[in-house]
A and B are shown apart, each in its own frame.
Chain A
């Protein structure tokens, strides 16, 4: 087995292993805190913790936040519109999954 001198970077799966603070999520999405707060108020993201400073976001929030932000930017949606679109897309994917399962009979 080849050995490399360089050290090995450890990688964690964000969606499974990790939680993010508001600051970390902002940095990862490259947006300001207010943009994320709007997503929380619209129910797109559901952090645990009682106040902004204590919010903890599940790892899957990153993907969801970025999708919501992209939809807003690319399609000119407001936060509520992006939230609705995400819900419908999720529902559609759930139904597709269900359809596939039934296909196996």
Chain B
């Protein structure tokens, strides 16, 4: 288990006042809130900040955490010393602002899942919180593109014989509507899950996400892909074959194309009432100089071209 440096996470000194910690939390929570932030790791950062704040805002937990000493480094291997928290009492449910987060192992080992209402709800208990009518489903871009029936494994809360809620895996076949986009919700009616499933009786909403794709990246109904071209194709122009979800098509690369320029393949994105476009972003691939002949050729280019790619930098 890795030690978590909650002070570093919050960007405050170890002797920060409660007010300073609260301010730091407010600022970071706004900055990294997944509904607000566009940064790629916003969700992970937001969770880390939420966990740090849950400890540092609570005088008892903070004192217990401080007692571990200031010599630990974030990421260092950590075991809680036996009886480390003797004399501390973590009590009371958290109220007021602050998120519910999926606690790290480090947090759980210190403040435990056993402490009711420590402010951290682990993934399991978060699900148990509710008749949970939401799940996330990750699908391939091709599934969204062509629709059709696909098999998925869903985590659904289910009541066990003792009346506790547990996460159970269900394998279901879902007819994916053609053209579904990331962030949209699918409603599954007639879920048909076994008796006792928390979601039975109601509808289940699945928030759609796309699995990372080796070629395409989706934004709304548009798709983006990086398209490598040879230097001569970019310089002289060329008609080249490019992949699309519907199969390969011919694309004309104009002469004098620069790296990073975008070419639009209209209507080749995700289908729908307004079909999206597919954008190809050019990348110039440099042939390797891995033979005497190739090296000789590059040397001749150096002679023949009066070319300084850094002239605009004044060097």
Q: Do A and B bind each other?
A: yes
Give the shortest distance, in Å, between A30 (CB) and chain B (any CB).
Answer: 5
Inter-chain contact B33/A71, CB cutoff 8 Å: yes
Q: Tell me the complex Cα distance, A89–B175, Å.
A: 32
A7 to B99, CA, bound (A): 39
Q: Which of A7, A14, A17, A70 contacts B35 (CB 8 A)?
A: A70
Partner of A11, one of B98, B100, B131, B175: B175
Query: Could you list 12 examples of A-B contacts with CB < 8 Å?
Result: A7-B192, A8-B174, A9-B174, A10-B189, A10-B190, A11-B175, A11-B206, A13-B177, A15-B185, A27-B133, A74-B99, A76-B97
Chain A residues with CB below 8 A from B173, complex form: 4, 6-9
CB pair A14 B175 closer than 8 Å = no
Q: Which single residue of chain B is at the shortest CB-CB distance from A6?
A: B173
Q: CA separation between A76 and B98, bound complex, in Å?
A: 7
B149 and A30 contacting across the interface, CB-CB below 8 Å: no
A103 close to B (CB within 8 Å): yes
Q: B-side interface residues toward A, CB under 8 Å? A: 26, 29-30, 33, 35-36, 46, 50, 96-100, 129-134, 149, 151, 171-177, 180, 183-192, 202-203, 205-206, 220, 262, 264, 279
Given contacts A59-B185, A85-B36, contact A9 B175 (CB under 8 A): yes
Interface centre among A15, A16, A70, A75 (most CB of B within 10 A): A75
Contact call A14/B149, Cβ cutoff below 8 A? no
In Å, the complex CA distance between A17 and B179 comes to 13
Top-4 shortest CB links A-B: A76-B97, A11-B186, A14-B185, A74-B99
A89: nearest chain-B partner, CB-CB: B36
Q: Chain A interface residue count: which class?
A: 20 to 34
CB of A50 closer than 8 Å to a CB of B: no
Helix, strand, loop or mixed for chain A's interface? helix
Q: How many A-B residue pairs have CB under 8 A?
A: 102
Query: In this complex, what residue of B is CB-closest to A70?
Result: B35
- Whether A71 lies near B35 (C-beta < 8 A) is yes
**Chain B residues in 8 Å Cβ range of A71:** 33, 35-36
Give the docked Cα–Cα distance between A27 and B187 (Å): 13
List 12 other contacts, CB 8 Å, given A13-B185, A70-B35. A6-B173, A9-B172, A9-B188, A13-B177, A24-B203, A28-B133, A30-B133, A63-B183, A74-B50, A74-B97, A75-B29, A75-B30
Of residues 1 through 49 on chain A, the ones whose CB sits less than 8 Å from some CB of chain B are 4, 6-18, 24, 27-28, 30
Asked whether, in the complex, the Cβ of B186 is within 8 Å of the Cβ of A12, the reply is: yes
Which of B35, B129, B151, B192 has its CB near the most chain A CB atoms (within 10 A)?
Answer: B35
> Known interface pairs A13-B177, A73-B99. Does A4 touch B188 (Cβ–Cβ under 8 Å)?
no
Tell me whether A54 is interfacial, beta carbon within 8 Å.
Answer: no
Shortest C-beta distance, A49 to chain B (Å), equals 20
A4: chain B residues within 8 A (beta carbon): 151, 173
Residues of B within 8 A of A12 (CB): 177, 186-187, 189
**Min CB distance, A19 to chain B, in Å?**
11
Q: Contacts of B33 on A, CB cut-off 8 Å?
A: 70-71, 74-75
CA distance A102 to B189 in the complex (A): 41
Q: Which of A11, A30, A67, A71 has the most CB of B within 10 A?
A: A11
